[in-house]
Structure 1
Amino acid sequence: MKKSHLTLIAVVLLIFAIGFFLRIGSAYVTGTPVDEKSFVLDENNLPYMYELDSYYNYRLTNNYIEHGYMGDVIIDGREWDMHSYAPSGVPLDYPPLIVYLTAFIYKFINLFTNIPLLVVCFWISAFIAPLAGVVAYLFTRRLTNEDGAVVAGILTVLAPFYFIRTVSGWFDTDIFIILFPLLVVWIFWEATINESPKKALIFSATAGFIMFLFALAWNGWQYYFYLMTFFSILWVLECYIRGKPVKQFIKVFLTFIGVTLILLTVTTGFLSLLKLLYGPLEFVKLSGSQSPWAPWPDIYLSVNELAIPTIEGIISGVGFALFGGIFGLIWTLRILLSEKLKKTYLKSMNLFLYIFLVLWTLTGFLALFKGSRFIMIMIPPLAISTGIMVGLCVDYLDSLKNNKSPNKFLSIFRKNEYLTHILALVVILIVIIPSVANVMKTLEMPPGADDNLWDSLEWINYNTPNNTVVFSNWPAGHIITSIANRSVSLDGRMAYIETVQSRNLDNAYPYGVKSPTTAREYWIGRAFSTSDENLSAGIFRMLATSGDMTYLTLDEYTHNTTRTVEILNNILGLNKAAARDLMLNHYNLSQIQTEKVLSYSHPDNTTPYVIWTYTQMVDKGFWIFHFGDWNFEKNSGENYTYTFAGIQREGNLISSPTGLTIDLENGNATYKGQVPYCVIRSDRVNENKIYLNKSSNFCVIILFDESQMIVIDRRFENSLYTKLVLEGLNTTNFKSMYKNNSTAVWHCV
């Protein structure tokens, strides 16, 4: 075997090993104290998943293994997920590649041994994600020297935002988001430069096939499809204007498009093609100032990864490649503008690929306005560009060995043959070491669940009727459906925004954009934020039994969502007779309309439900109050006071780094120099409340068991959220069925 081949294999293994072994470090939960580690390890002695969305993919994979399709049932030839968006369920619309791949690996491994599916799901990211670095290396190797290519590969596998979302225990589609775009762009570029028309078409068809696989892997594949389509059309126009031959390029482009669309249509149906073509029009609508569900609150505002990132967030997410990549793009342009320099340093690089890398990078920057999640789009072009930059540095240093300059400094390089190699190594290490240091810090994150969460969800599974609906906040939805095996009203897919662009084309969505809807977040938030327990019980009963039907039906009569919300808030806490009287005599609905609404709001046969609370819900309190007390006339929520922090106790004195001071002996309390309206002390068994300042607008809650304090707006001092989530106390209407140190299951008595 040639030395060059051995080098290639060695580097590929090195890049894969770096990505793999650093990722499996998450299995050691290094950020958790040794005496607490067993608490965050499951029955397989592995950490619980780091991201709760992982349990959604686990559940779908388990379905596929058990009965051959990802959904729970098949209705009219369509797979439906009946665990999500209860009680109606939703047509399953999810890229299946992660499920197919995991199921195949699970089946294959279990031919030789007995490994639980959850274990396979835990480890799979560490095996797939490093492949992106290998592809980045092979791609960049075509453009620059070995050193630059190695840097591009390592920076790709260690890009902080990509790394954290692809460690072991993060079982999600992120493992494909860099791998497939790199493959598609690389092979498509090879097709454009290949001098053999036959080979060019083969390359193009291969790129189309990989784009099809990408469509099965991630809903955001359309970004890349339209990016490549838009750029190719511009390139054809530019070549035509300048009189350059474009016939072969057009063949390559049409082959790529044709293979992608044909495979997509044949395997997933004509609707997928319509969704792709219809997508840009709907994207424009979704990018407007109002959400498609207005005046219902936009739940997606509460998703951290959909918030516009800060400059610091972008830098920490991309890593060194952000600066190295931008500098590399500038330097590359300088080289390409000189024919002599191009032949010396970048023989394979052409203007087509350079402009595409620039456009790719700009697209990534623009996508950041849709959320930090799209940092992923920026990583590949910037990593490649950084690799080219390092390659140019190394080539330049290498050229100093043969310089004939009389300059004493430059003569050092002629006399010391290894000096350039040492400096080249220094350049590489300067680029790589910060990336390694960054990812080591990220491995200190805690798992997303623990024994208490798991035990309480298993209790629900074994002790509640199969048709029970579980209410909690949306981030916990996927682990509830997976482990408790019960339906939820709302989960991590929320209002299924991915399907909005095509609902008008799909008869499985009879209400179009109106259902699924973000209205669920309002009603669940309303139930938690009110102190009227009868209203809370009425809301939960309505959602568990009839889902969206009550407000969808009432909206047809009022033609005014604000009016609909007012009516429901006034009747859901009443008994059926009182609610009927109010709608007939106060809101002037007809008898038929009233009875129709009551059949959904106050059903005769109700679906059982439970409320599941856990300590991490404290993090979401602001959004529960923000959405639950939504102002429909203004189409906005209030920025209510809501802060939480740890506390320190020294004797009778309690303090927090946020400015809280409480003297337990005399009851005096201040927060940032102000005396609160009330102070609530709770140990999850008893409540002690004292009122201090009638003119103040906030209360302080002290949770001794959690060593935590929460500052809330005074209007929520007696809210269901305060009682169940923060204090963990039984109320008049809601009693605990099960409790442990950090979770509770509640039912309405």
Structure 2
Amino acid sequence: MENQKVKTILKSVVIIAILFVLVFALRAQSADINGVPNQLKANYMDADGLPYFSEMDSYFNLRMTQDYMDHGYFGDTLVNGSGWDMHSYYPSGREVGSYQPMIAYVTSALYGIINIFQDMSIVEVAFWTGAFISSFAVIPVYIFTRRITNDYGAIAATLIVALGPNYISHTFAGFFDTDMFNIILPLFFILFFVEAVKSDKFAHRIIFSILSVLSIGLYSLSWTGFMFYPAVMILVMIVFFVLCFYLNIEVVEPFKNYSNKLKWLINQKELFSVIFIIILAIIGLLITVGIDGILAAISGLTGGFSLQSAANDVWPNVYISVAEMQIPNLLSGGLPGAFLANTNGIVNGIGGIVALFGVLFVLFTFVQRLLRLKSVKIKGDSSKPHKSKRKATSLRKEQDRFRITLKDIGSFGSSDEINRSKRLNVLYLSLFLVWILASAAAVTQGTRFIQVLVVPMGICAGIFVGYAADYVKANIESDRILLLIAFVCSFLIAFPITQIVYGLENALMIGSIVFVVLLAISGILIYVKKSIRDSDVSIKKTLVVLLITLALISPTVCGAYQTTASTVPGSSDPMWNAMDFVKENSTNDTVIISWWDFGYLFQIASDRPTAFDGGSQSGDRAFWVGKALTTSDLAQSKGILQMLGTTGSNASDLLCDYTGSNVTAVEALDKTLGMSKANAKSTLIKDYNLTEKQASAVVKQSHPSNPNNISFVLSSDMIQKAGWWSYFGSWNFDTLNSTNYQYYMASNYVKIKPNSQGSINVLNDSGIEYNAIIKRGANGTNETTAQMTAVWSNNGSKVDVNGTEYNPLKASNLIAIENNYLTVNKTLDKKANYTLYLIGSENEYTAILMDNELKDSVFTRLFLLGGMGQDTFVLSNMQEGVSVWTINDAASSSDNSDTNTTDT
């Protein structure tokens, strides 16, 4: 091996190692949970001092990993040879035999290796696994980009991709999910695929094809959407062959040049590699996921574009409520935000507008070259020079890369250069165009897919840095231009630092210092230092190239720092203590029911099953749990919970079979779940034409004689999520749509003495403050009155629109609870749509404004009013921001409710 090649490889290894340490260190920072005040950090750590996981899917993956390590399969039991999880979607449970096992395989392997040297629990290993594995993304990104451009470009691409906002926000320490594999394995697949297509040597094509298939085979064990990347590469090669045909580039030779078809096929390097990879991939995927997995993955390619549909069949689609499934904005934060990297917009997610400019420039360069290729003819002698005149392979490759990248910026290369690189250029143009367009289409289905888009975009941005570096070194001689570039780049480097939210004042100071220092150094090296002119040229150009590189990566690196420096765990002691209470004070048949978000945590913390969690978001559960929270009929809410926790969806399925309609089945249950069993049966026979036998079968499921114990968990986070659970709970099965209702809560208490007035801020929105103005009487609490006002935040004046007072949050009702007694319940304005709750104690008041539809909801009565005035539910445990309720079977509203007062 040539010395130069050895040096190049060693240099690349050192760079990759440094990049790995950097990206891991940024991910590891989240373990300090600096987003939590120091005095509260203990509340966000478990008994062993480890922070709670940041996202609830982590607890499901942890439980599956524990299952695998404990009994060798995923889930609690085997059903027909397939793993079955009885903690989820109770009572039926759900199959987890098709669970993507890579995360469990890798974590259990790491657990075994680590515990050879030191004791570490599986929870702690899982806590660090995502940060560790995802940091290996630097390897394929660097290698892939370095094959196209220089070290500057490869470093820039690596940091933009490996620290991309939507990637690092799912892979820092404490985030234990399959996202850790979403760059490493797909990019290795594409890297090896491209190398197989490019390679002139038959042996290399075979090796790279096998490696490509191994990569996608491993990825099929990591993510259900793995088929996206084989589909992209098939489209890439179709576009490649079409463009080659259009440009008269011969990629398929005539049969007559070969003695048989096999020899012909072997020598068509692109065609052979594609066919060979497809055959190997089919065989490999049959081994890893089977025919069912392949068919499911193919159908998922089109099914993925229905994620934004409001309905799933007739049921509401819960995925539209998941934050990472929301359709992203193109840009967040206006003009300043264009230079920042975060998860709030597409441009922000790929590293900011400067990175986007670099991507567009690179694509333009490829397209420009493509337009010139058609008319260019091969010139010159193609024979090889004598061995004595040949250069070292590594130097020759570096020079070829330099000439191509440099002159693409200037004159886009000579005819001879373009002809020698026709196939390669068309291949990369096809690759990046198809890859970016396919990823952009995926982004239309949710914010989380920006992490897919950032890979090709980040690589292109890195190529731009490499091109710019070559151009500056070879073409820029003017000191003024160098200083101008240094000035712009210094600003682009410093600006993201000044915008870091965590430690804002320090960030402003540090960012300003960075700008001044960089500009001063640039001025000194470019203008002041004149003693060794030849050296000056090299130093000042190297400095400018470094500044260009830093300018492209600064938004992403600063965004990554901000993400991990402001991390807050997804749970805390109150939630975990509430689950400990359930575990210690409930029977094994107890079922936990709440909104889906914390379902996975409930299962692992309490060792009790749930009826609704992150894996059961589709189907009927969102509607029924949302209905149990939104309805004002306590008996109906109780009936829903006991049905779900005992027989699940059996009653709905039976009614659908008998009536032939899911909609009719829901209507019938909606009407009868608040009734006694006898009245429910009578109503089903009379109003829905069921036979007595059918009605008996239905009520046996809808009104179980011996219902399981229910732990109904309500928590403060559900206040902000009310818009979604009320949306699903109020679902209109005729229009397949709904309306969401909201709570607006004041964040503090205000002291208001008798015979005085006070103002409580409830909401700030678009420069408008919505305040509850409270007036207390002098002779008793029942004289308290209040109303909502809307004023401009900047001057406190009332908001007028065309001379008319603007106040969309005006209250129609006032309810005051003072010193735990209901003191006021009166109408304020019949035309308004909100109810204002005042809660006061010892002259301290806070306010809650809510849509009228939530005024008497079960959630309001239980969580906000502490169960006051009802006996259907009993408070069994109260933690800070978390309450656990059980059902009182002896309550007067349970079996004696013959009327239905449910909101429809």
- For normalisation by structure 2, the TM-score amounts to 0.76
Pick the aligned partner of 1:640 from 720, 735, 741.
741
Pick the aligned partner of 1:161 from 143, 166, 170.
166
Q: Which residue of 1 aligns with 2:463?
A: 388
Contact 1:23 1:166 in 2 (8 A): yes
Q: Which residue of 2 aligns with 1:574?
A: 675
Task: Measure, in 2, the Cα distance between the counterparts of 1:182 and 1:207.
Answer: 10
What SS does the aligned partner of 2:442 have? helix
Deviation at 1:80, TM superposition (A): 1.0
Deviation at 1:325, TM superposition (A): 2.2
Contact 1:661 1:671 in 2 (8 A): yes
Task: Measure, in 2, the Cα distance between the counterparts of 1:682 and 1:18.
Answer: 55
Q: Which residue of 2 aligns with 1:316?
A: 348
Please say if 1:378 is aligned against 2:453: yes
Please say if 1:743 is aligned against 2:879: no
Q: Which residue of 1 aligns with 2:205?
A: 200
What SS does the aligned partner of 2:84 have? strand
Contact 2:20 2:136 in 1 (8 A): yes
The 5 A counterparts of 1:272-421 are 272-280=293-301, 282=303, 286=306, 291-294=311-314, 296-311=315-330, 312=332, 313-320=345-352, 321-334=355-368, 342=404, 350-400=425-475, 416-421=537-542
Task: Measure, in 2, the Cα distance between the counterparts of 1:11 and 1:703.
Answer: 60
Q: Which residue of 1 aligns with 2:771?
A: 660
Contact 1:675 1:692 in 2 (8 A): no
Q: Which residue of 2 aligns with 1:549?
A: 650
The 5 A counterparts of 1:423-434 are 423-434=544-555
Contact 1:703 1:726 in 2 (8 A): no
2:774 partner amino acid: D
- Deviations 1:521-567 (Å, cap 9, x if unpaired)? 11111111111111111111111111111111101122233322221
Task: Measure, in 1, the Cα distance between the counterparts of 2:309 and 2:786.
Answer: 46
Deviation at 1:233, TM superposition (A): 3.3
Task: Measure, in 1, the Cα distance between the counterparts of 2:483 and 2:15.
Answer: 36
Contact 1:686 1:729 in 2 (8 A): no
Q: Which residue of 2 aligns with 1:483?
A: 605
1:723 partner amino acid: R
Q: Which residue of 1 aligns with 2:292?
A: 271
- Deviations 1:210-247 (Å, cap 9, x if unpaired)? 00111111112121121112222343455467462343
Deviation at 1:581, TM superposition (A): 1.6
Contact 2:44 2:572 in 1 (8 A): yes
Task: Measure, in 1, the Cα distance between the counterparts of 2:789 and 2:126.
Answer: 46
Deviation at 1:103, TM superposition (A): 1.1
Deviation at 1:648, TM superposition (A): 5.7
Question: Greater shift after overlay, 685-694 or 629-638?
Answer: 685-694
Contact 2:225 2:297 in 1 (8 A): no
Q: Which residue of 2 aligns with 1:81?
A: 85
Deviation at 1:480, TM superposition (A): 0.9
Q: Classify 1:22/1:276 alpha carbon distance in 2 versus 1 (closer, same or farther; 3 Å).
A: closer
- For normalisation by structure 1, the TM-score amounts to 0.91
Contact 2:731 2:738 in 1 (8 A): yes
Q: Which residue of 2 aligns with 1:219?
A: 224
Q: Which residue of 1 aligns with 2:788?
A: 670
Task: Measure, in 2, the Cα distance between the counterparts of 1:686 and 1:133.
Answer: 62
Gaps spanning 5+ residues in structure 2: where?
A: 253-267, 333-344, 374-399, 409-416, 486-525, 528-532, 765-769, 777-783, 791-806, 889-904
How many residue pairs get aligned? The number is: 724
Q: Which residue of 1 aligns with 2:633?
A: 532
Question: Greater shift after overlay, 272-281 or 626-635?
Answer: 272-281
Task: Measure, in 2, the Cα distance between the counterparts of 1:88 and 1:147.
Answer: 56
The 5 A counterparts of 1:555-704 are 555-644=656-745, 646-647=747-748, 649=750, 651=752, 653=758, 654-658=760-764, 659-663=770-774, 665=776, 666-672=784-790, 673=807, 675-680=810-815, 689-695=824-830, 696-701=832-837
Contact 1:684 1:728 in 2 (8 A): no
Deviation at 1:466, TM superposition (A): 1.7
Pick the aligned partner of 2:100 from 95, 110, 129.
95
Deviation at 1:568, TM superposition (A): 0.9
Contact 1:201 1:251 in 2 (8 A): no
- Deviations 1:460-486 (Å, cap 9, x if unpaired)? 122212222110101111111121111
Question: Greater shift after overlay, 659-668 or 346-355?
Answer: 346-355
% identity of equivalent residues: 30
- Deviations 1:617-657 (Å, cap 9, x if unpaired)? 11211111111111212221124354445246254522234
Q: Classify 1:397/1:700 alpha carbon distance in 2 versus 1 (closer, same or farther; 3 Å).
A: same
- Deviations 1:147-194 (Å, cap 9, x if unpaired)? 111111111122111111111011111111111221111111111111
Deviation at 1:6, TM superposition (A): 3.5
Please say if 1:726 is aligned against 2:861: no
Task: Measure, in 2, the Cα distance between the counterparts of 1:49 and 1:323.
Answer: 37
Task: Measure, in 2, the Cα distance between the counterparts of 1:287 and 1:31.
Answer: 32
Task: Measure, in 1, the Cα distance between the counterparts of 2:22 and 2:665.
Answer: 57
Contact 1:684 1:729 in 2 (8 A): no
RMSD: 2.9
Q: Classify 1:273/1:562 alpha carbon distance in 2 versus 1 (closer, same or farther; 3 Å).
A: closer
Contact 1:683 1:727 in 2 (8 A): no
1:691 partner amino acid: K
Task: Measure, in 2, the Cα distance between the counterparts of 1:565 and 1:252.
Answer: 54
- Deviations 1:326-363 (Å, cap 9, x if unpaired)? 33322344466668962756788522122211211111
Contact 2:159 2:557 in 1 (8 A): no
Contact 2:164 2:451 in 1 (8 A): no
Deviation at 1:86, TM superposition (A): 0.9
Task: Measure, in 2, the Cα distance between the counterparts of 1:664 and 1:55.
Answer: 48
Task: Measure, in 2, the Cα distance between the counterparts of 1:634 and 1:584.
Answer: 27
Q: Classify 1:709/1:473 alpha carbon distance in 2 versus 1 (closer, same or farther; 3 Å).
A: farther
Task: Measure, in 1, the Cα distance between the counterparts of 2:74 and 2:559.
Answer: 37
1:557 partner amino acid: Y
Q: Classify 1:648/1:533 alpha carbon distance in 2 versus 1 (closer, same or farther; 3 Å).
A: closer
Q: Which residue of 1 aligns with 2:250?
A: 244
The 5 A counterparts of 1:1-20 are 2-20=6-24
Q: Which residue of 1 aligns with 2:412?
A: none
1:235 partner amino acid: F
1:374 partner amino acid: F
Task: Measure, in 1, the Cα distance between the counterparts of 2:195 and 2:810.
Answer: 69
Larger Rg: 2
Deviation at 1:263, TM superposition (A): 2.0
Contact 2:217 2:285 in 1 (8 A): yes
- Deviations 1:565-618 (Å, cap 9, x if unpaired)? 221112111111111122223332111211111121112232222101121111
Q: Which residue of 2 aligns with 1:22?
A: 26
The 5 A counterparts of 1:443-522 are 443=564, 444-495=566-617, 517-522=618-623
2:151 partner amino acid: E
Task: Measure, in 1, the Cα distance between the counterparts of 2:878 and 2:152.
Answer: 57
Q: Classify 1:688/1:81 alpha carbon distance in 2 versus 1 (closer, same or farther; 3 Å).
A: farther
Q: Classify 1:183/1:612 alpha carbon distance in 2 versus 1 (closer, same or farther; 3 Å).
A: same
Task: Measure, in 1, the Cα distance between the counterparts of 2:230 and 2:620.
Answer: 32
Please say if 1:233 is aligned against 2:238: yes
Question: Greater shift after overlay, 266-275 or 235-244?
Answer: 235-244
Deviation at 1:417, TM superposition (A): 2.9
Q: Classify 1:688/1:83 alpha carbon distance in 2 versus 1 (closer, same or farther; 3 Å).
A: farther
Task: Measure, in 2, the Cα distance between the counterparts of 1:365 and 1:281.
Answer: 15
